[in-house]
Structure 1
Amino acid sequence: MPRTWRSASPRTTSRSCRRTEAWGTEPPPAARYPESAQGRSAMTTGAVLEATDATFTDVVLRRSHEMPVIVDFWAPWCEPCHILSPILERLANEYAGRVQLVKVNIDQNPMVTQQFGVQSIPAVKAFEGGAMTSEFAGAQPEGQVRAFFDILVPSQTDHAMTAAQRLRALGDDPAAREQLEAVLADDPNHVDASLELADILSASTESGDIERARELAEPFEHDPRARRALGRIALSQLASGKDRAALEARVAADDSDAEARYHLGAVLALAGEWQDALEHLLATVRLDRELDEDGGRLRMLDAFAMLGDTHELTVRYRGRLMNVIF
C-alpha cells in the first residue's frame, strides 16, 4: 500500500490547487507568473525529465525498476506548483543518479493524471519497482521534501548490507564480515547486521568469535535468525574436542550410553548429518532426561532452530520428541 507523506502543518488552499476548483476552468493568464517561474517549471535536465500520457510507462514505470522516480504533477497556472518546483528540481540535481524527478503537466496529460487519482496540485508521487510507493500534496518546506527524497535513497548502510548479503550468497563470509562490521560501526543496534554477523561468527572455531556471536544474537532471541546462531553455538560447544570415531565405538558397544549418544548427536549435527544427529539426541531424551539438565531435548531444539521450523526433519522429529516427553 502506498505511503502517504504528511506535512507537519495542515494543507490549505494557499499550498495546493484543488482539482474541483481548477479543472474545467480557464487557467489564470500566464502573465500572472513571472517568466522565470514558468521556465523553471518546464525545465528539464538529466536529473529532471518530462513525461506524457504516451511516455509515462517508459519514463516513469520502467525507469523505477532502476532507481526511485519522483513524479511532480503540476500546471502552469498553479501558484503553489511554482513554489514547490524549484525545491524539487534543486534536490533532483543534488540526488542525481540516485533519484529521478519527472514532471507531468496535468493540462496536457489528463489520462495519467486521472489514472493516479490526482485531485489537487502540486501532487508528488514516488514510484519504485513499477508501483507508486509514497506521495504528498501541496507546497511543502524544503526540509520535508528532502526527507521525502531521503526515504527513497539507499543509505551507505543499506549499500553495505546489500553487499554483505551478496558476498554471503557467493560464499565469501570474510568479506561479508567486513561489510557487516562497517554497518555496526555506524549503527551498533542494526538488527539485520547484528544477526547476519552472529550467523557468521557462530560458525567460527575462535572462542572470541563465538562469544561475540552470542552477544549479538541474545538481544534478539525470539528472531529465528538469532535462534539459529545460538543453536549452532550450543551444539558447537557440546561437540568441541569430541572424537567422532571414539563416540561411535562407544555407541556400538552400548547403545544405552546416553552421554556418548548426546555428544555424537552434536558432532553429527555440525557435520550436517541431521537425521542421524536427531536420532542420537532423541535417544538421549529417552535414556536420561537429567543428563546436562535435559540436554538431549534442548539440543534437539537447537537443531530445529538451525534447520528451520518448516524443514521436513524438524516437523517429523518435533512430533517424535513430543511423543517421548508426554
Structure 2
Amino acid sequence: MAGAVDLSALKERAEAQRAAAQRPTRPAEGGQPAAPHGGAAVVDITEETFETEVLERSTRQLVVVDLWAEWCQPCKQLSPVLERMAASSGGRWVLAKVDVDANPRIAQAFRAQSIPMVVAIAAGQPVSAFNGVRSEQEIAAWLDDILTQVGGALTGAPADAETEAVDPRMEAAEDKLNAGDFDGALADYRAIVAAEPHNVEAASAARNLEFVLRAQAHDPSIVENAAPGDVDAQLAAADVLLLAQQPETAFDRIIDVVRRTAGDDRTRARTRLLELFELFDPAEPFVVAARRKLASALY
C-alpha cells in the first residue's frame, strides 16, 4: 500500500493552520489530558494535527489510524478493541482516532469507501489497511506482520524526506490511458487491485475509468426517454447526467428510484448511488445533501 495514498494535501493544510491549531488529546484516567508525544497510547486526530500526530510521529513509531463515526455501529465494536490493544502495546504503536464526519478530508485522503477503516502508517506512508470488524487475534497478527516488515523504516527521519518510488505498473497503465487504450489501462488498473486490494490509487483510477466508459456507452437520449419504472434505464440516465457535470440531478434520479422500489431493485439503485459518491470528495455539499436524501428515502 506504500505510496498509494497522497497525504500531502493534509500536511499543507496543517501547516497553514498550525499557528491557530490546538492539539486535542484524549483524557487519561483521572481526567488529566494525555501527553501528545510521550506515553499516550490513543490520540484524537484532526486535519490540523494530522501532520504532527500521524505523519511526523510515524517516522519514530508505527501509527494505526482508526477512521470511525458516531453513527457507525461496527466502529463501536472495533474501536474499544483497538484502544485496549494500543494501551497494552508497550509503546510499539499508537492509535490515532479520526472522526470522519468532523474530518472529511482525512477520509478522502485515505479514499475511505466504508468504515470502520484501519490504516497502518510507517515513515509517513500507509503500509497496510483493513475495513470492517476483526477479532483481537486477527488484529494482533496483522500488527505483528507490519512491525516485522517496517521496524527498520522507523528511523526518525522527517516524513517529507521520504522519496516516493514510482510504481511502474501505474506508469504503464497511465501511458495506455494517454494513448487512448482505455480498455488496456482499465485491465492494468484492475490487475493491480487484484494483486493489492488495498492499493487505493489503482482502485480509484479503475473506478473512475469504469464510470467514464460505462457512461459514454449510453445513448444520451435515455435521459429523456427512460421509463420511470425501468431501473436499468434510470441508472443509465444518471450516468449520462453525471458525465455531463450534473451531479445533483443524477443523484436525485437514483434517489427517486430508491423511493419507488423495493427488494433487489432498491438495493441495486442504492449500491450504484454509493459507487457514484466515491467519485467525489465526500465533503462536497452536493454529496452531503444527496446522502441525507438517500437516508430519508431509505428510512
**Normalising by the residue count of structure 2, what TM-score does the alignment of the two structures yield?**
0.38
Q: Which has the higher contact order (CA 8 A, sep 6+)?
A: 2
Please say which structure displays the higher CA radius of gyration: 1
* The structure with more helix, counted as a fraction of residues: 1
**Normalising by the residue count of structure 1, what TM-score does the alignment of the two structures yield?**
0.35
